[in-house]
Amino acid sequence: MVRSLLCAAAGALLAGFVVFRSPRIALYGLLAAAVALAGTGVAAAVTFRPSSLVEPRYSGVIAVAPSLVGSAQSIVTKFESYRQQLTKLVTNVSKLYDAVNALPTYDADPASIKVLHVSDIHINPIAWNVIRSLKEQFKVDLIVDTGDISDHGTKAENAFMEEIGKLGVPYVFVRGNHDSRTTERAVAKQKNAVVLDNASATVAGLRIYGLGDPRFTPDKSVPVNNDPAHMRDFGRRHAVRLPRPSPIDLVAVHDPDAAKGFSGAAPMVLAGHSHRRSTTVLPTGTRVLVQGSTGGAGLRALEHAEPTPVQASVLYFDRASHRLQAWDDITLGGLGEQSVHIQRHVEPDPRRMISPEPTTAPSPTGTVSGTSDG
């Protein structure tokens, strides 16, 4: 610091002499520089606040800096703070739930089978806070996870699955394209876990069929076919093997296009993958509900200007008919945001007929068109 002051004084003296060719003016310049430096030092000492270094403020282009700089300790501290605040917000969902439940459009039957639909957690620990709070507040009977619970499908990620056994309700899981067979086995080892891959099981009174994603995209050595038509055909090939009239109440897959392949095979299909929530009723009467990311897209949330919201849904099934009656969509602010939103939807025609997908009959020449069963 002393060296900097001496250099500044020498520079002021030299500049004054070079410009004005007068030793007296050069000395005046040195005096002015000294006064300016002293004033700056006093102002810095008076306004210096060490706390500003702990919580810096960024603006303009450098606004992205908080996600790029800072010690590991400070990042962990801020993350845990956000996680705790988000947990408090989720806990308050019960108050919103009570208000929504009083609406005349749908009175949730206490005997309903309540299903919590989650997806695309991508090893974000925040998701467990959300799931645990929603499970308790909505008193769900089971949880259905439509895949991508991991990020790279490595053995190192297996410890993340241990939270499943602490939830206290059945946890139905289907493999996503980021989940390896190692991930699938790690989930299957957990208490309460029900892993389905081209298999069905009765869970909490619902007959559920699950199908794991055929792709494992983290393995770049294996070519991946992401064509929507290919994924629909993948779903269709498995759908035609289900017994008809189908006793399946609910189908769980990862990819929305594979979900469309189950059109007409079941009244309800759950999916994920796209990190965007949506729902549609197909011409056959099958409803496809695509869940957003319950993990806020994991670390991918840092790749976008706006954080990916944390999303989950609670579905209400009639205990007698096993048909969907209504569902609540819960949306929480993504990484760094603090907000919660709940929206009630009522199924307009719970008992609608589910028609099989039309098939093309053989022509007189004996040729067959359409999709193969193979």
- One digit per residue, the tens of pLDDT, for the chain of length 374 reads 556 656 666 666 566 556 666 666 656 666 776 777 677 777 766 665 554 433 333 333 333 333 333 333 444 455 555 555 555 555 555 555 555 555 545 666 778 999 999 999 999 988 998 899 899 888 999 999 999 999 999 999 999 999 999 999 999 999 999 999 999 999 999 999 999 999 999 999 999 999 999 999 998 888 899 999 999 999 999 999 887 766 899 999 999 999 999 999 999 999 999 999 999 999 999 999 999 999 886 655 545 556 788 999 999 999 999 999 999 898 887 555 556 788 888 999 999 999 988 865 444 443 333 333 33
Given a contact cutoff of 8 angstroms between Cβ atoms, the answer to whether 266 and 246 are in contact is yes
Alpha helices in the chain (DSSP H): 2-20, 23-47, 51-54, 72-91, 93-101, 126-138, 181-188, 228-239, 256-260
At 327 the pLDDT is 93
Distance CA 86, CA 134 (A): 12
Distance CA 184, CA 195 (A): 7
Q: Token digits for 274? A: 């796209």
- Report the C-alpha dihedral over residues 289, 176, 205, 357, rounded to 10 degrees: 50
SS3 114: strand
At 146 the pLDDT is 98
Distance CA 188, CA 201 (A): 14
At 53 the pLDDT is 38
The helix/strand count (H/E) of the chain reads as 9, 13
Distance CA 200, CA 279 (A): 23
User: Which residues fall within 8 angstroms of residue 27, CB to CB, at 6 or more apart?
Assistant: 13, 16
Phi/psi class of residue 170: alpha, beta or left (left: φ > 0; alpha: ψ in -120 to 50)? beta
- Give, rounded to a whole angstrom, the gap between the first and last alpha carbons of the chain: 78
At 357 the pLDDT is 85
